[in-house]
Amino acid sequence: MIVVVAPGQGAQSPGFLAPWLEDADAREHLHRLSEAAGLDLAHFGTDADADTIRATEIAQPLLVAAALISFAGLRNADAAAVAGHSVGEVAAAVLAGVLSEADGMRFVAARGRAMADAAGRVATGMAAVVGGDEQAVVDRLAELDLTPANRNGGGQIVAAGELPALAALQADPPARARVIPLTVAGAFHTRFMAPAVAPLTELAASLSPADPRRRLWTNHDGSEVDSGAAFLDLLVGQVASPVRWDSTMESFAAAGVTGIIELTPAGTLTGLAKRALKGVPTVAVKTPVDLAAANDLLDRTA
């Protein structure tokens, strides 16, 4: 079984959609997604600079749109399972049939706005802590009143909280650990995002989720979800609760996953898989050129 995964915020880079938009079908697809999100995603994916696409309300719809466009280039993906990291779960919801493309883009646009508003209330951020003893890392974060917002597996925990505390972590990291600041605008998946929950709850009440037609895992706790309504509830609560990608990858292993394809802008999740799921083939779909390898992996397991 192949799992197709969608990355989270911070994976974007200036111009990363340009190679995809050389194709007329992809341009039309992006136009539809842009209309649903109320944003010019072609501009943000090709011409906008790094600071512009770092903005939460831009980055989140842009990432989901990129995942959907790159998935459209896959063949024989009917039997593929899906999962997403953080905002990538919105893309996974669409790919699993829980939400329509239009509703998924409406939801992620609202998510980006609500989380940007929450992030603007207190100066916060995130940093990846790579290496070190896991318990020692968690203890150091607790000392600084930081939250382990993402437990990503492969020896990586993402710390989130107020900027002075993150600066103190970088200045005095846990033993044998490196601290890498992330290009995000707030402490996502922590108590600082609680103000974003109410508007998303209100929006979710207007949607009509369907039960997933593909196998679908949540990064809330790594469990497989077979109810569309339950998955939508998890999407809402996810903004203020930690991401357990380590548990999701453990579920992949338990399910006997034989390959992982990461959608655009790829690289982060396949990198984690190479460390945590040794021996499982991975393909990072960064540009349309990478579709050949992804399709070959799907063909071998069809």
Tell me, yes or no, if 34 is annotated catalytic.
no
- Rounded CA-CA distance 208/197 in Å is 18
- Rounded CA-CA distance 85/3 in Å is 13
DSSP 74: -
CA 139 to chain CA centroid, nearest Å: 26
Choose the catalytic residue: 70, 86, 241, 247.
86
Specify whether the CB–CB gap between 247 and 219 falls below 8 A. yes
Q: Provide the 3-class DSSP secondary structure of residue 117.
A: helix
Choose the catalytic residue: 29, 189, 220, 247.
189
DSSP 172: S
Tell me, yes or no, if 13 is annotated catalytic.
no
AA identity, residue 265? P
AA identity, residue 277? L
Q: How far is CA 123 from CA 33, 161, 184, in A?
A: 31, 8, 12
- Rounded CA-CA distance 75/261 in Å is 12
Report the catalytic residues.
86, 189
